[in-house]
Every structure is written in C-alpha cells, then in structure tokens.
Amino acid sequence: MNAVNIGLLGLGTVGKGTATILERNAAEILRRAGVPVRVAGAVVRDVAAAQAWQADAGLSFPITSDGDALVADPDIDIICELVGGEEPALRWTQAALDAGKHVVTANKALIATHGDALFAKARSKGVGLRFEAGVAGGIPVIKALREGLSANRINWLAGIINGTGNFILSEMASHGREFADVLAEAQALGYAEADPTFDVEGIDAAHKLAILASIAFDTTVDFDALHIEGISSIQPEDVAYAAELGYRIKHLGVARRRDAGLELRVHPALIPEKRLLANVDGVMNAVVIHGDAVGPTLHYGPGAGAEPTGSAVVADIIDLVRGGAHPAGAGIDEPKALPVLTSAEFRCPFYLRLEASDRPGVMASVAGIFGDLEISLEAILQKEPSALDESSVPIILLTRDVDEACMRQATTRLEALDDVLSPVVTLRVETLD
C-alpha cells in the first residue's frame, strides 16, 4: 500500500512532537488510518541544528530550508504548517491549498485572522484544512464541537485557553503573590515569552476564542469585534476578596448566544469555586461547552507542549487520511455572519471594590446609587481599615445580572462621590449556569 507523505513546515516544539509521534506510533497510526503515514520532508531555518536533533532522536527524513519547494513537491500529500505567525505561513498555506494538498496547522493567529478566506479556498479545491492543535493543545475540543456535539445547538462556551495566564492567576490565588513576581517566574520556567503581551493581555486567548465561536455558532468572526482584556491589572487583594466570597479569578474566553447577537469576550472573571472550571490550575486548559440537548460538558487537558500539541496535529492527519467529512470547515454551507454585541450590551453579574472614607452615611450613599439604577446586590463586604490608613475602608460588592452600560453608569456615579477615594475596580462574574 502507498504511504501518505507528510511535509512539515517547521521543526520547532510542535514539529518535533509531531515527527516523534508519527515515528513512535507508526504501527498504531497504520491500524487507524489504514495506510502508512510518514514524514517525507521538513523545512527549518537552521538545517544543521535540526539534523543534530534528528540524529539524537533516531529519525530519518530530508530536511531543507526551502519551504516553497516542499509545498510544491508532488510527492507530498499533506502539509503541516507549524511555523506560526503570519508570513511565510499564510503564503505556504495558500500555495498548498492551491496545489490540491490537505493542510493541518497549529497556527491559531492564521486561522483567526485569515480562516474565512482559507476555508473558502479549501472548499473550492476540495481539500481539507484542519486546525485542532491551534486552540487548546492536546484537548480535542474542535472535534467535540464538530462531531461529538453536532446534534446540539450550542448556547455558550467558556474556557481557560491560555496556560501562561492560568499559571499566573493560580499562583496569585495559592500564595498571595504579586502579578509581576509570578510573571517573572513564568518566564524563567519557559511558560511565558520574553515579551508576554500576547498571553497576559488576552490576544492569544482571543485568537482561540474566535476559532471556537466560528465553529460553535457556524459563523464568520471578525477578530477586531472581540472584546479583549488582560490580567496585568489584577491585584492580590481582589484575588483574596474573591476567595472570601467563594470565587476564583480566572482569565476566560466567553462566547454566548443572545437574542440580539453574540457575546465574544476575553477578560478576567470571578467563577464560583464549586465549578470545575474554577479548579483548573497551573498551565492546564479547559473549555465548558453548553449544548441545548446535552447541557454543559467539560473538556480538560494540557494546552501546550511538544507531544500534547503534536497529538492534535497527528489526529488531524489521521482524520484527513480516513476522509473526514467536510474537512474544510464546520459544515456543508459557507458560514453566515452574525451580529456581535458591543461590551456595553454584555449582561452578567459584577464584582466591585472601592476605597471609601470610614464615616457614617457612606454605605447609604453607595447603596443609593445602586437603588436609583435598579441594580440588585448579591453581597456587600466592608473590611477593616488598613493599618497604614485608618481613615478609609475597602468595600466589596457583588451585583446580580446587570447590563454593562448600566454598570458603567453606576461606576461613574460612585467615583464622583467625595467619599470614594480611588477608581472603582470592576470585574465580571461568570456563574456558568
């Protein structure tokens, strides 16, 4: 039987994991795919370094620095784009699809920003474009949405889909540490890049959320329409107060279907500590998907790493070899654009922390603003004055569901009070009901 030849664009962490799995599990892959699957070539910047790794790993396949030639090679059946970034990844992916080759990618930014055009090209050429590894590493959440949950109308999904941010918030919760301190440790451990912006400011998670939402709701997603907030402003006292109220702070990606459109947002949020998602710690990822028939399902596992991510790449390869249905997109038809709500239209409970003068009547003034705006309060917590400033006290409030536009009015009015001494800290609450 003829082997299926794989071309690896990139032999970094994910590329090495993919090559290793294809070699080590060759017999199992043959049994599941029905034909041998082998690496027939790889593209790297530093050929000598890649060959040294290859010799240590006991692998043998051609390595080159010419990506255009590998993509054009008629003997290559499936291209695995594992270089990341926009260029040359986009050019090589387009060329592979134009040449009638299936493509598997781990490049979340590529799919989030150019996915619609690439899917259209794949459909026109009758080939597959798979991207399981681009969202949550080794967790098969794309397959869960497209296959296991395909009988459901998806109501919402919420996920911890960036391991770096989750590691930082987990350490802040467990040990009361400052954000900057934990970030430095994450960089030393290799969890965070020297420039951690994509991770801690929510851009990485937003790319993944855009992909998940496009499949869950069978829609096109304009990445610029997503609401994105990072975690760099989270303070240890808010982590501690949240815990006192029975919550954990997590960096969430949330996609929710509303009557008026979709909520697509990435931001820190309080989650009730009894929820399984609240107890996902360290660099692990997890996604809760709520379908109308099945209810909530939790998908948990490693969100990064050589072999966990390589596992997702190889699974996509096997699926394509076996002739997976509709490999270019979420369904038979082209997805339809749905309206995306602005942040002012979001609706959820809120956590607020304010520093107020420690004198009679202040709490009544605060409560009066919420009464005027018809915002119901779930809890009020007034702490003791600080030893450094006995004239002020922290006040923590939890609201019930409220439109964000109304919440902004409340915050503006609170900050206008003479007895509110600093900007009000607000965080959303996700009950995952």
Question: What Å distances lie between residue 245 and 178, 275, 331, 425, CA to CA?
Answer: 20, 14, 43, 16
Query: What tokens does 316 get?
Result: 């996509």
Q: Which residue is listed with tokens 């501690």?
A: 240
**What backbone torsions phi and psi does residue 172 show, to the nearest 5 degrees?**
-65, -40
CA atoms within 13 A on the CB side of 257: 18
Residue 427 near residue 268 (C-beta atoms within 8 A)? yes
Query: What tokens does 374 get?
Result: 């018809």
User: In terms of DSSP bridges, do strands 4-9 and 78-81 run parallel, antiparallel, or are they unpaired?
Assistant: parallel
| Dihedral angle, C-alpha 414, 417, 420, 424, nearest 10 ° | 20
Alpha helix (H) ranges present in 277-383?
A: 306-321, 362-372
**What backbone torsions phi and psi does residue 95 show, to the nearest 5 degrees?**
-65, -40
Q: Which residue is listed with tokens 């051609």?
A: 62
**What backbone torsions phi and psi does residue 423 show, to the nearest 5 degrees?**
-60, 145
Host H or E run for residue 382:
strand 377-382
d(CA 9, CA 50): 12
Question: What region, left, alpha or beta, does residue 137 occupy, with left being phi > 0 and alpha being psi -120 to 50 degrees?
Answer: left
Of 177, 293, 244, the C-alpha closest to 398 is 244
Q: Which residues are catalytic?
A: 208
Burial group, residue 348, by CB count within 10 angstroms (0-12, 13-18, 19+): buried
d(CA 133, CA 73): 24
Host H or E run for residue 285:
strand 284-291
**Using only C-alpha atoms, what is the Rg of the chain?**
24
User: In terms of DSSP bridges, do strands 261-272 and 247-258 run parallel, antiparallel, or are they unpaired?
Assistant: antiparallel
Residue type, 167: F
- The full DSSP string for 259-279 is TTEEEEEEEEEEEETTSGGGG
d(CA 149, CA 397): 38
